[in-house]
Structure 1
């Protein structure tokens, strides 16, 4: 799938897709509403680095690609560094990990970089979506959270 088709898929999460296209052109990042095409799980940098046992960027990318098998965004300017795993929309139920890795959905906007933005500075893709509807499975995100929390607790002892 081409970057143009993927960009269109992302832009259509906006009621006015042209707005997302303008924001990508003007700033490199578009604010997209969650809860329409996808949700996101906010993963603190410390948790992710503990889970993948490295902070080396290319190694983190390789591990997240393998473990989550879906798109991930990184924003180093918020909350000490944050990863966002894009997931399918959540319909019902509670998210057991809300206190450490918040599930973000309807009513929340996420800064989504243009697809070519895969390196710092600023918000960028760590793992770029490969096709329309390419999203991380919630079970994979949960496994990453559990692994990271356990590794972080072990390191703190």
Structure 2
């Protein structure tokens, strides 16, 4: 596991050693959102519509190009959920809260250790590349808007 990146995530907690312990013991650390990063919860079908594939390697490649930042997949939830990790935008409204909620202060997210890159459970679909690597809010919004437009197109 890249220790610089892991340390950056671990410091989302007041006691970063707790995150390190959780990664060692369970492979997933429960981290608070809102200060260092936030997460946008994206339903699996929304992401599949946006990238036009469900094939894991192609999906990861397309999310890498579109979001240019880290994405976690949690397959333990109904149908699966993606979490795009994003920079916090203080005082900026999120227009997509009903469809793709932005989770922040008061919410915790299971963040896998950087070695978890495939199922089962929670794993990285797109790894962070460096300390502080996060998706730009505009990129996440574009993905959501595209998914909605594709979903609303009449089938031929």
TM over 0.5: yes
The equivalent of 2:73 in structure 1 is: 74
Q: Which runs of 5+ in 2 are unaligned?
A: none
Deviation at 1:94, TM superposition (A): 1.8
Q: Which moved more, 1:88-97 or 1:131-140?
A: 88-97
Counterpart of 2:120? 121
What is the CA–CA distance in structure 1 between the aligned matches of 2:50 and 2:10, rounded to whole Å? 31
1:151–1:27 distance in 2 versus 1, CA, 3 Å: same
CA-atom RMSD, angstroms? 1.3
- Matched with 1:51 is 50
CA contact (8 A) 2:5 2:132 kept: no
Shift of 1:78: 1.4
Q: Which 4+ runs in 1 deviate beyond 6 A?
A: none
2:131 equivalent in structure 1: 132
Distance (Å, rounded) in 2 between the aligned partners of 1:36 and 1:115 = 21
Q: Do the aligned residues in 2 keep the contact of 1:13 with 1:33 (CA within 8 Å)?
A: yes
- Residue equivalent to 1:104: 103
1:31 aligns with 2:7: no
Query: Distance between the aligned counterparts of 1:155 and 1:56, measured in 2?
Result: 23
Q: CA deviation at 1:30?
A: 0.3
Matched residues in 1 for 2:3 and 2:19: separation? Answer: 13
Matches of 1:71 and 1:13 in 2, distance apart?
Answer: 16
Alpha-carbon offset, residue 79 of structure 1:
3.4
- 1:39 and 1:103 in contact (8 A); partners too: yes
For structure 1, the 5+ residue unaligned runs are: none
Other structure's SS at 1:67 match:
helix
Q: Which residue of 1 aligns with 2:150?
A: 151
Change (3 A) 1:156 1:122: farther
Question: Which range moved further: 109-118 or 71-80?
Answer: 71-80
